[in-house]
Structures are given as C-alpha cells and as structure tokens.
Structure 1
Amino acid sequence: MPFRFLLYLQPVRYFSVPRLNGSYIYPKLESIPINILEGLQPNAKYTSQSARDYDLVWQAIHIGYTQGATFYKSFDPLPIKDEYVFLRSYFNPVWSLYVLLLRLGGLKNPFAEIGAFWYARSVKKQQLAKKAIQRTNFPEFQSTLVASKPMVSVIIPTLNRYDYLQDVLKDLEKQTYPHFEVIIVDQSDKFSASFYKGFNLEINLIHQKEKALWLARNTAVEVSKGELLLFFDDDSRVAKDWILQHLKCLDYFNAEGSSGVSLSTVGDAIPEHYSYFRISDQLDTGNVLLKKSVFKAIGLYDRQFEKQRMGDGEFGMRMYKNDYKNISNPFASRVHLKVGTGGLRQMGSWDAFRTTKLFSPRPIPSVLYFYRSYFETKRVLFALLKAVPPSIIHYRFKKNKKLLLLGIFVSILLLPFIIVQILISWNKAGKKLKEGPLIQSLD
C-alpha cells in the first residue's frame, strides 16, 4: 500500500495487496498521462516527495483512471506526519483519531504520534468524486462488441421468491439488447415449472433440489451458451438498457468485468462515489457481467462459501490477483429490493456480521475463511476491530451515527460474548482453510 495507515482503515481491501505478478493497482506517476495529472491536486502539506507522488497516484485511481503502463511493486516508508495528512485528506477526521488511539495502544512513541496527528489537524478532506474523470462520449459510444451480437447468458439462482422473480423476468422481456438466454436455477421448496410458461424469453430452467447458491451459479456457468455471463438476483429490478450498458462498458474499457451499481429503492440517486467509471474494488454477483474466459482461467466459485456469504468477493479477489480488469459501471444499475424471505435470508447467512443467537459465530465463518486466505492475521484482526462493533446495531440503522456509537458501547459491555463468537467463527474458518478451496475448473 502507498500509505501504511491504510492497514487500519482498509485492511482487507483488494487494492491493499499485490497481484500475482508482484505489482499493485497503482500506476507509477510518470506513466499517468498529462491530461489526467492536470486534474489532480498536489498537497503541499506532505513533508516528503514520495508522499506527494503517492497521493497523486491515489487520486488518479480514485477519480477513475483505469490504465497505466507501469505499476508500483513496492513503496517507500513515509514520515508519520505524512500518514496522518493522508488520513485527513481522504477520510472523516474521526478515523484519524481512531488510528491515533490504536497506535498509542500499540505502544508507539506518544510524542511522535500526537505531534504528527496535531500537524495534520488543519487538512481538509478532499471530495474526489467531484473531480472524477468524465467519459462524456460513453452514451454515444458505438460498441463493436454490441454490433457483433454476442450471446449473453443471464444467470439467476432463485429460492422461494416467485412473486419477485415474476417482475425480474418482465424486466428482462423489455431489454433492448435481444441476444440473450436466461438460465434459472430454481431451488424453491414448492418448485413450479408452470410458473415459467408465458414469458417471452429463452429460458433454460434447472431444478436444483439442494439449496446451494454457489453450486447453482457454477452449474449455470457450466451449461451457459454465451461467452458473456451476466449474474443477477431474483429480487431486483433493472431498466430496459441494462444488458446493453454492461456490454458497452466491457467494450469501452477492454475489461473482463462490468460491475453494476446497486440501489435500495426505486428512484434513488446513484451514490456519488459510484456515479462514475472506475476500477471496481468489489464484485457483487447480483449485478455483474463477466467473460466466461475468466472462469476458464481461474476456476468456478469456491464452494467453501456454500450457504454463506462472500463467494463473489473471493472470486473478485482472484480476478484482481490475476490482473483482470473489473469496471464499476454507473450506467448499469439495479434496484435491489432485499426482500425479507427466501434466498440467503432463508439459509440464515444473509448478513455477514450480524448474528441471531448469542453463541452464533460472528462473523459467519466464510468471511474469516476469505480474509485468512488472502491476508495476514494482523489485517484480519484490524478488519474485525473495525467491522464487529457496528454490527451490534441492526442493518437498517447502520448509517445512523448515534446508534453506531451505541453499538460500540454495547460491544464493550458484551465483549466476552463477542470474543467467544469470533473464536467460534475463527475455528470454523480454520477447518475450511485446512480442507482447502473447493474450486472446480471450467473446461
């Protein structure tokens, strides 16, 4: 990482680790075009030239620069003052205090830490989304990929959600791009083949008796006709140009993945940090178009995540490690209804960190299996420290600052129980790690 203090705030982010070729996502400053550099804002508060350079590189990636001829493989250590300046430049000031307390608790030099923290106190947070690269030609972009009419396989696992799946299929009937099939892997308790009659779609229906999400997606990949796979959820709504916008993004950026934006309510505005194209730092199988060639190269979804979360996050990490480009695409949005029945909710693993029983594992074991597969233990512990206290509060209130503070206070009171929950999860994840990945190849 260009700045060491990201260890505390983004310990398990894709971009925090190098790819298999040894390089990070960050392009060397000299390889960034002049027209991009002119849109960046140098920060004179840094005390070292390395920090000033790394800051510009950070800006470039986070305003949507997606290229780069040469990339960093290592970073110079920076003065502590520069680390705090970076935190104040891009994160809420409370996180600088959080890092200060962690470092003081870790017996770092209190005079150096407090002095550096105080030095950075006047730095104002930058709003990178307001400086985002504007691809004004994208709406009129004439895609040769679209013109070639490739077959797209839309993949939908479903479980006891016929009422919502009906609207999903109606949205697909309205798509402006016509060259696609719909593969539905139905795991419903009361399976109804007749439900699918009457839709004006090419539907490949698979009745899967086992309730297994990642098996369902893997099966669909294996039987798909298309070389482009569009993963979708059974409780989502999309506009009529949804498939088209995914295809255009793949072509425009010469990418292997197009990650669409997810909204919670019809009519919601796209969040500012998702409102422009950039390299995606996540993968959500509820709205992503991927080339089948990626699966042929790195394998299918890991079935160690069965009946639990983060199988898509792990696949996204494999893509990142193998240097595949996945673009966050604001033009291919969906409304994710997050209905209260069916799907992973029925399996009891919809929320990765929130438990329903006092001695249930927190987080669910697949989370720690993923983290421990790719990150050192120190990073995993920092991730837990940051994520567990807010998880005490119900998901619906996660953006309520007062309730989040209450969650932190309650987590202190419940600390012995929380430690037990984490240890249970750690032990179960350890068993998964010992068994190893369950990743089948795609011929």
Structure 2
Amino acid sequence: MLFQFLKYLQPTHYFTVLKNNGTSIFPDVNSLSEDVLKAVTFDNRYTNDLAKQYDASWQLIHKGYIGHAKTIETIETLPLMDEYRFIRKYFNPTWVFYVLVIRVLSFYNPFKEFKSWYSTKHIKRVPILKTPMKYKDWEYNKAPLIEEKPMVSVIIPTLNRYAYLKDVLKDLEVQDYNNFEVLVVDQSQPFQERFYKDFHLNLKVQQQRETALWQARNWAIKHSKGDYLLFFDDDSRVAPDWIQKHLKCLDFFNADVSSGVSISKVGDKVPEHYSFFRLSDQLDTGNVMIKKAVFKETGLFDRQFEKQRMGDGEFGMRAYLNGFKNISNPQAKRLHLKVGTGGLRTMGSWDAFRTNHVFQPKPIPSVLYFFRSYFGNTRARLALLRLVPISIMPYRFKKNKGMLILGVFVCILILPLVVFQVCKSWRLSSIKIKQGPLIDTLDAL
C-alpha cells in the first residue's frame, strides 16, 4: 500500500495488495503526461518527495484515472509525519484519532506519534471526489461491441420473490438490446412453474431444490451461451438501456468487468464515490457484467460462501489479482429494492456484519475466511476493530453517523457478547481455511 496507515483504515481494500504479476494499480506520476497531471494537486508540504508522488497517484485513482501508464511497483517507507499528513487530507478527523490510539496501544513511540499527529492538526480534509476526471468521448462513442451484437447471458438466482421477479423480467422484456438470454435458477418453495409461461424472453428456468446461491450462479455460468455474463438480483429494476450501458463500458475502456451502481429509492442520487467512471474496488453480483473469459481463467464462485456473504467480493479480488480490469460504471444503474424477505434474508443476516440473532457469529464466518485468506490474520483483526463496533446498530441505521457512533459505545457496554460472537466467527472461518477453497472450473459439467 502506498501509505502504511491505510492498513488501519482500509485493511481489506483490493488496491492495498499487489497483483499476481507484482504490479499495483497506482500510476507512476513520472510517466504521465502533463495533461493527465492537471487533474491532481501536488502537495509540497510533504517532507519526502516520494510521499508527494504517492499522494498524487492516490488522487488520480480516486478521481477516476483509467489508463495504461507504468504503475508503482516498489513502495518505500515514508516519514511518520507524512503518514499523518496523508490521512488528515483524506479521512475524517475521528479516524485520524483512531489511528493515533491504535498506534500508541501497539507500543509505537507515543511521543513521536503524538507529535506527528499534533503537528498536522491544521491540515484540512480535501474533498477529492468533488473533481473527478471526465471521459468526454463517452457520449459520442458508438461502441462497436454493441453493433457486433454478442450474446449476453443474464443470470438471476431467485428465492421466494415471485412478486418482485415479475417486474425484473418485465424490465428485461423492454431492453433496447435484444441478443440476450435469461437464465433463472429458482430455489423457491413451492416452485411455481406456471409463473414463467407468459414472458416474451429467451428464458431458461432451472429449478434448484437446494437453497444455495453460489451453486445457482455457478450452474447458470456453466449453462450460459453468451460470452458476456450479466448478473442480476431478483429484487431490482432497470432502465431499457441497461444491457447496452454495460456493453458500452466494456468496449470503451477495453475492460473485463463492468460494475453497475445501485440506488435504493426512486429519485435517489448515485452515491458520490460511484458517480463517475473509475477502477472499481468491489464486485456486486446484483448488477455486474463479466466476460466469460474471466471465469475460464480464475474459476467459478467459491462455494465456501454458500448461505453466507462476500462470495462476489472474493471473486472480484481473484479477478483483480489476475489482472482483469473492473470498471465502476455509473451509467448502468439499478434500483435495488432490498426486499426484507426471500433471498439471502432467509439465511440469517442483513449484511456481512449484522446477523439476525444475538448469538450468531459476527461477522458472518465467510467474511473472515475472505479477509484472512487474502490479507492475513493481522489485517483481518484490524478490519474487525474497524468495522465491528460501527455495525452494532440495526441495518436501517447503516448510514446514520450519529447512530454509528452510539453503536461504538453500545459495543463497549456489551463487549463480552461481541467478543463471543467474533471468536465464534474466527473459529468457523478457521475451519473454512483448513478445508480450502471450493472453486470449480468452467469446463467441468
């Protein structure tokens, strides 16, 4: 990682890890044109010139730079003062203080830590997302890939959501792009075969008796005819140009993955950090197009995540490590209804860290399996420290900062219970790690 303090604030972020070929995604600013560098502000207040360059590279990636320049491969240790300067610029002061506390409790020299923290207190946070890079040619690009009309396979696993699935399929009926098939893997009980009779789609329905999300998606991948696989949730709505926008993104950026964005209410704005094209640091199988070639090289979804969370995040990490380009695509938008019944909601959790029952493991064991497998035990523990306290409050308060802060205090009050939940999750993730990945290959039928 460019700045070592990111291990405290983003311990399990894709971009903190080098790819399998030893490269990062951060461009070497010395190899960039003056035109590209106009998008960044070089900070001469750093004590070290490398820190200034790393900061500029960080800016570019987070402003949406998508290019082919030489990237930083060897990352050197920076002065303590520069580490604090960096996090002051890009993170909330509360998190800066959090880093100070963690450092002191980790037996780093408290005098040096406090001096560096205090000496940088005048630095104001930089609103880096306010000035993203623009890709002006996007609007005028005719996307030859769309004109070639490749087969697209839309993959939808579903579980007890027929009322919402009806609208999903109706949206697909009116897509501007017409060379696609729809594969629905239906795990509902009871299964309603008659439901599918009246849709005007190239539709293939597979009844799956076992409730297993990743098995469902893997089956659909294996039986798909398209070279482009579009993963979709059964409680979402999309515009008629949805498929075209995904294809155009892959074509325009010569990418392998187009990660669409989500809103949860009609009329909502796309979250600021998803509102422009950029290299994506996540993968969400509710709205993503992936070239089938990616699965041929990396394997299918890991079934260690069955009935749990982050199977798509783990696959995204695998794709990233293997050098596949994943673009966050604000043009391919969906309305995600986040229905309270059916789907993963029936499997015991609202998200990766919020379980439905008090004595269930926290986080979901598959989350720690993912973190520990790719980032190691130390950074997995840092992730727990960073994420568990703010996940104490219910899901509906997820974006309420006041309630998140309250959750930290509640976490302290119920600390024995939280420790029990985390230890249980750690133990169960250890079993998964010992078993190893359950990743099938695309050619195996």
Q: TM-score, normalised by structure 1?
A: 0.98
* Match in the other structure for 1:295: 295
* Match in the other structure for 1:82: 82
| Alignment gaps of 5+ in structure 2 | none
Q: Does 2:99 align with 1:99?
A: yes
1:271-420 alignment, distance < 5 Å: 271-420=271-420
1:205-244 alignment, distance < 5 Å: 205-244=205-244
* Match in the other structure for 1:32: 32
More displaced, 288-297 or 340-349?
Answer: 340-349
- Deviation for aligned residue 1:33: 2.5
Q: Does 2:179 align with 1:167?
A: no
8 Å Cα contact 2:350/2:395 also seen in 1: no
Q: SS of the residue aligned with 1:182?
A: strand
* Match in the other structure for 1:140: 140
Q: Does 2:436 align with 1:436?
A: yes
Q: SS of the residue aligned with 2:140?
A: coil
Partners of 2:328 and 2:198 in 1: how far apart?
A: 34
Q: SS of the residue aligned with 1:357?
A: coil
8 Å Cα contact 1:222/1:442 also seen in 2: yes
Question: CA offsets, 1:204-244, max 9 Å, x none?
Answer: 11111111000000000000010000000000011110000
Q: SS of the residue aligned with 1:276?
A: coil
Partners of 2:16 and 2:344 in 1: how far apart?
A: 29
* Match in the other structure for 1:116: 116
Q: Quick one: which amino acid aligns to residue 216 of structure 1?
A: A
Partners of 2:149 and 2:356 in 1: how far apart?
A: 47
8 Å Cα contact 1:157/1:186 also seen in 2: yes
Partners of 1:220 and 1:358 in 2: how far apart?
A: 35
* Match in the other structure for 1:264: 264
8 Å Cα contact 1:26/1:72 also seen in 2: yes
8 Å Cα contact 2:296/2:442 also seen in 1: yes
Structure 1 segments of 4+ aligned residues over 3 angstroms from their partners? none
Partners of 1:356 and 1:216 in 2: how far apart?
A: 24
- Deviation for aligned residue 1:71: 1.8
- Deviation for aligned residue 1:74: 2.1
Partners of 1:69 and 1:21 in 2: how far apart?
A: 16
More displaced, 29-38 or 340-349?
Answer: 29-38
* Match in the other structure for 2:156: 156
Q: Quick one: which amino acid aligns to residue 329 of structure 1?
A: N
- Deviation for aligned residue 1:335: 0.8
Question: CA offsets, 1:301-359, max 9 Å, x none?
Answer: 00000001100000000000001000000000101100010000011134211123332
* Match in the other structure for 1:201: 201
Name the count of aligned residue pairs: 443
- Deviation for aligned residue 1:137: 2.1
Partners of 1:387 and 1:308 in 2: how far apart?
A: 18
8 Å Cα contact 1:309/1:350 also seen in 2: no
8 Å Cα contact 1:27/1:70 also seen in 2: yes
Partners of 1:356 and 1:317 in 2: how far apart?
A: 27
Partners of 2:181 and 2:12 in 1: how far apart?
A: 36
Q: SS of the residue aligned with 1:165?
A: helix
| Alignment gaps of 5+ in structure 1 | none
Percent of pairs identical after alignment? 57
Q: SS of the residue aligned with 1:138?
A: helix
Question: CA offsets, 1:226-275, max 9 Å, x none?
Answer: 00000000000111100000000000000000000011111111111111
Q: Quick one: which amino acid aligns to residue 121 of structure 2?
A: R
Q: Quick one: which amino acid aligns to residue 205 of structure 2?
A: L
8 Å Cα contact 2:350/2:356 also seen in 1: no
CA RMSD of aligned residues (A): 1.0
Partners of 2:81 and 2:3 in 1: how far apart?
A: 11
- Deviation for aligned residue 1:401: 2.0
Partners of 1:399 and 1:183 in 2: how far apart?
A: 34
Q: SS of the residue aligned with 1:75?
A: coil
Question: CA offsets, 1:288-312, max 9 Å, x none?
Answer: 0000000001100000000011000
Q: SS of the residue aligned with 1:55?
A: helix
8 Å Cα contact 1:307/1:349 also seen in 2: no
